Structure 1
């Protein structure tokens, strides 16, 4: 605690990482109660309106925060981030999006069932057929049979009852899509059948599987911002987080300014680029960090047979990095 007080007052301490870690934990506590935590990132559909990525996925805006020692003292570093979450839809609607077709009247083919099973396995759902009782389950698989063919023992004497009859008699719930398979939930010893139409996907589940090219493109579009837009999002996040009103931070004597830090900067002059004498333009002076290769020839051209992209940023999600590499290869 002595090191923490000295660090907050601007004094030199022998072990600053330990004190910085304590401050970081204090400032993350309130955010961890408000947002979905993914590693060192926090996400919420309330930070910015989620954007549809297709196939039952949407992009959520979030932020990364950490305490950094700077020449001005301790600074709170905040950067924005975007990643994919599973859209909290009724399961039947989610299945329709995954397959790209209406499923309300026709049974699923074997190929469709395999695709849906892959998309739903491990996803958490809540039941909607029991009024205010919203029990939650994790999907382990799908039945190979449609709901109308499913029966199970209801007592120790092994008396059988169909899923359709059970839901009608016990819950007064009429199954509208008996041609669809049921969700499998529970343990291997005691598997439960849940009709798709009686379930809704829980909000706040990050999508960890690989995105397709279309989804990557949509994610990149929703995450790319001009500096001014990025600045406005950071300021809005600071206001939403309410660091000045954080009761936990106040107990530790931590006060966060809600304004961005200003630093002096300068623009380095762009160097002249030398090209081959055989080209129409032998020299080029880049403007605003860019230039055109039209009418220019490089001095020593070569073929790139093997190349790689290395992501050193902890703020760039893997899917976004993969999307950049793919677009770079196509350029």
Structure 2
């Protein structure tokens, strides 16, 4: 059977009709014995009509040796207007085929086609009515780099969970080794395991050591300590943008998501240094004046960016966004705004203390009572006792 169309057609027949179509050779043999139909060869011509037999033939007596058919639905995929017959017809019909007027047609019993084989109809054209106009959009066209990017694997020891700390370590590495070991390259780092450069580094694998001041150090034992990190940088492969160029040129149907993700990391590198990253967005009080929200909070303006593939090429999509941040003010004033009352005249109740504890947990604060020494701490909890009643041991004899 020649397949000339991609339409999916479901043919529903009655049991007697399917029986007649499944046994035409036996009916032809019986007719020849009775000499009632001398034109048996006419059944081997092309089948021009897929409609079932007329209703008046449904009660016709079945041929000798016929069996009752249990098929009710037959799914043909694909189906053409004509079934062609070549060569002799065997009386044995293969599985998955239907003998229709002496011609064996392949059928699929309800097998769904793959989504990869689906082809959507092409757009016929663009609108012609109306007046053309220019609109402003939050898309900025970008050019695909002429050369491929180099992908390096990064391993930091001891392991760090925070992306911000990883970026600080990598920034310190670039600051110390850019002119000597990095060949004046400015890498793009995703904050985890991947590093990308526009040119090759002078090595394929190398280890570095950097020292970084621990901002979370409490400072009770003296000056803040420096932590030493070991960074192993190893070449993996070159990021290929050939398939992305083929997709933008209309020669490829599937967009290479890996290449788009690499470009997104590279374009986010500068924003990660200049602004405060929160999720996939960036915020700063310098973009627009913060707006007070009450309860010790203020709104910062920011943006979200992502690389997109369009009909005109690569486009950088930028959407404006806002987020709430804690207003920079003394902790006592923050608690007073949060509770909406004066907190200096009387102690906090249990419900107020729980509310303040949830609001301050994980927040970084800077002490101001030590003049030139401005230590930063991260709040982990809130005591149930006021400071005038709180005692702690200094040594074995004093508290």
TM-score interval, normalised by the smaller of the two chains? 0.3 to 0.5
Which is higher, the Rg of structure 1 or of structure 2? 2
**TM-score scaled to structure 1, two decimals?**
0.44
Q: Which has the higher contact order (CA 8 A, sep 6+)?
A: 1
Give the TM-score taking structure 2 as reference length: 0.37
